[in-house]
Amino acid sequence: MSTSADPLAALGTLPGVGDTVDSVRKAVDRVYGHRVMRRRSNEVTSEAALRGARGSAALSGADWALEEVRRRTDFSGADGDSEAPTVGAALRLTAEAGQLLSIWRQSPLRVLARLHLVAAADRGDAVGRPRTPDEAVDEPLIDLPLPGADEVAGRLEGLSQLIISGSSAPALVSAAVVHGELLALRPFTSHNGLVARAAERIVLVGSGLDPKSICPAEVGHAELGRAAYTAALEGYVSGTPEGMAAWIAHCGKAIELGVRESTAVCEALQRGAA
């Protein structure tokens, strides 16, 4: 990452990133301009939340059909379904993220701790805090070298200071960096992917790019697939300009696919009202 006074803004000048930012902004503006959004935006937001949670859970290994997520009420896993708690965690995080927007810019580490607490729910004293050197990480779908606890603490503090200080970087760039950094660090003993995607959502909403939370990037990440997700993350972890730009482009494409999903929801609502 750049060592300039505003390293996030510096990432926005990487080749191709400006075009990605413009493309995402135009896509978001189009769905916000849909006639359904004038009267039924709350319905679109609710549906986007459900579909986003489903997509995030899929990337964490619980790839359920949307109607199954909609139908189920018990996600405890008491029936022996080992994937149910992951889906439940994704749903809880989606609901919680909207409550944390006002805290994020002042205390991002507090928000991350809260997100992990909500996701993990019942994992004892390892919940809601960064892992210690002697604790293992349960994140089997991300097969990248795991930074040590000391490095995690330092980089989390650096990320926190970037957020608190503010940046002129486009929302897409800031959201992609928060998402990528949390996946690279895996600061918690579990649920890091779910937390990283929830944090990305907080940035996109809080920045004003997607204030009504109707553009579920999680849907796009899931649609692009786990292999593409991890390959793009490797680019972020490499720290090279090309790798960072590729990760930002991947996140941008995910948002555009989320826009497409919500546009389809708008069209379905419009047909139903006709």
pTM of the shown model: 0.95
Nearest-angstrom CA–CA distance, 73 and 243: 41
Token pair belonging to 21: 């930012």
Q: What average pLDDT does range 138-155 have in this prediction? A: 94
Measuring CA to CA, which residue among 232, 219, 135, 227 is closest to residue 183?
232
Nearest-angstrom CA–CA distance, 185 and 149: 9
**Residue pLDDT, tens place only, 236-265:** 999 999 999 999 999 999 999 999 999 999
Nearest-angstrom CA–CA distance, 249 and 197: 16
Q: Are 187 and 99 in contact (CB under 8 A)?
A: no
As a whole number, the mean pLDDT across the chain is: 94
Query: Which residues face 95 on adjacent strands?
Result: none
The full 3-state SS of the chain, as one line of letters, equals: CCCCCCHHHHHCCCCCHHHHHHHHHHHHHHHHCCCCHHHHHHHHHHHHHHHHHHHHHHHCCCCCCHHHHHHCCCCCCCCCCCCHHHHHHHHHHHHHHCCCHHHHCCCHHHHHHHHHHHHHCCCHHHCCCCCCCCCCCECCCCCCCCCCHHHHHHHHHHHHHHHHHCCCCCHHHHHHHHHHHHHHHCCCCECHHHHHHHHHHHHHHHCCCCCCCCCCHHHHHHHHCHHHHHHHHHHHHHCCHHHHHHHHHHHHHHHHHHHHHHHHHHHHHHHHHC
Query: Cα-flanking dihedrals φ and ψ of residue 43, to 5°?
Result: -70, -40
Q: Are 167 and 8 in contact (CB under 8 A)?
A: yes
Measuring CA to CA, which residue among 130, 96, 99 is closest to residue 113?
130
Q: Residue 3's pLDDT band (boundaries 50, 70, 90)? A: very low
Unique residue bearing structure tokens 């996140």: 251
Q: What percent of the chain has pLDDT over 90?
A: 90
Q: Residue 181's pLDDT band (boundaries 50, 70, 90)? A: very high
Q: Are 118 and 96 in contact (CB under 8 A)?
A: yes
pLDDT at 4: 57
**Residue pLDDT, tens place only, 18-67:** 999 999 999 999 999 999 999 999 999 999 999 999 999 999 999 999 99
Q: Residue 178's pLDDT band (boundaries 50, 70, 90)? A: very high
Q: How far apart are the first and last CA of the chain?
A: 51
Give the alpha-carbon dihedral of 188, 189, 191, 193, to 10 degrees.
Answer: 60
Q: What average pLDDT does range 81-109 have in this prediction? A: 95
Angle between helices 84-97 and 108-120 (to 10 degrees): 150
Inform me whether the pLDDT recorded for 204 exceeds 90: yes
pLDDT at 209: 97
